[in-house]
Amino acid sequence: MRVLGIETTCDETAAAVVRLEPGGAGEILSNEVMSQIAEHAAYGGVVPEIAARAHVEVLDRLVARALERAGTALSDLDGIAAAAGPGLIGGVIVGLTTGKALALASRKPFVAVNHLEAHALTARLTDGVEFPFLLLLVSGGHTQLVAVRGVGDYLRLGSTVDDAVGEAFDKVAKTLGLPYPGGPEIERRAEEGDPTRFAFPRPMLGRARPDFSLSGLKTAVRIEAQRIASPTRGDVADLCASFQAAVVDSLIDRSRAGLRLFRERVGEANAMVAAGGAAANGAIRRALARFCGEAGLKLVLPPPQLCSDNAAMIAWAGIERLSLGLSDDMTFAARARWPLDADAEAAHHGKA
């Protein structure tokens, strides 16, 4: 089975072809990602209108290149998968409409993929992880601990009550005058800094419910940065290192609470999996490795380029759904909000 994936929910335009091998393993045949960082950098964050327009400009060429590099014609595909949300609606519509049009023209099955489900299932593409597993999803828009019991079967154990992890990195970077996106930049600066110089808060430490909170930490960094009248490069490095250390401690403490709840509600986990852009962070990855070592849990960390937004994960989610006989029709509408778990989904529809 070969599936084309399309991703346009945020500031990355991406197209990829993934193949399901007879044994059940996935093989990435092509994985094209075009980042719009340069277009948004001047604004210090993603501008939805610019993002949507940029997706329109490059998506056709990117799809052609993904097919070409995979040595695959449209007619060789077994399905076309496009992220249908959650995300910036203008951009989502671009990818979703392109995916539908290609499916219609080539008479292939179409799959509308939940971007969060694609992050969640990436570890099955890279490492063939078996259900159920504990997922720590840390992206620019989401921070959640989820029990992944099967395709389409998610139990949210906890989530952030304010900022997402990537969002906190981006906002702290902005406060410190560092360029967008903040995550990679803070990680680089932190390498030269002293993580013990500033004693920033570790929000929610010790709480039984595995929720997250990062806005107090973000404010603490801002106050400290303002106190230093004209911060030197060394001060900025120390602020970055101390902030990152607080995030890491909080994530590990919250993961510990998440694992406890997972064992109570679901049973033993086959692995812990991290996904989302912030899962590319080296300090977070090292701390998770220590934590899982102590907890006797297998840790699966997809390579950094598959943690941040890409289309291979969309194609793979398409393969997983098609393998179960699931596909979508042309009426599937783009969704700005699309929770993973059924409870939140029901609550959302109740409100609508």
Q: Which of 79, 90, 109, 277 binds ligand KG4 (CB under 6 A)?
A: 277
Positions in 104-163 near Zn ion (CB under 5 A)? 139
Q: Is 183 in the site for ligand KG4 (CB under 6 A)?
A: yes
Q: Which is nearer to ligand KG4, 10 or 92 (CB)?
A: 10
Q: For residues 169 and 83, what is the distance between their CA atoms, to the nearest angstrom?
A: 25
Q: Which of 94, 308, 314, 315 binds ligand KG4 (CB under 6 A)?
A: 308
CA proximity to 299, closest of 312, 290, 308: 290
Site string for ligand KG4, 105-144 (x = CB under 6 A): ----------------------------------xxx---
Q: In the complex, what is the shortest distance from the CB of residue 133 to ligand KG4, in angstroms, rounded to a whole number?
A: 18
Q: Which is nearer to Zn ion, 77 or 120 (CB)?
A: 120
Residue 147, beta-bridge partner list? 134, 155
Token digits of residue 18: 């993934």
Beta strands in the chain (DSSP E): 2-7, 12-20, 26-35, 79-85, 110-114, 133-138, 143-150, 153-159, 272-275, 299-300
253 in Cβ contact with 245 (< 8 Å): no
Number of residues that bind ligand KG4 (CB under 6 A): 20
Region from 14-22, 95-103, 301-309, 321-329 binding Zn ion, contact rule CB under 5 A: 301-309
Q: In the complex, what is the shortest distance from the CB of residue 95 to ligand KG4, in angstroms, rounded to a whole number?
A: 13
Q: Is 309 in the site for Zn ion (CB under 5 A)?
A: yes
Q: Integer distance in angstroms from the first to the last C-alpha of the chain?
A: 37
Q: Are strands 110-114 and 79-85 parallel, antiparallel or unpaired?
A: parallel
Classify residue 38 by burial, with Cβ atoms within 10 Å: 0-12, 13-18, 19+: exposed
Q: Which residues bind ligand KG4 (CB under 6 A)?
A: 10, 139-141, 166-167, 169-170, 181-184, 187, 276-278, 280-281, 308-309
Q: Which residues bind Zn ion (CB under 5 A)?
A: 139, 309
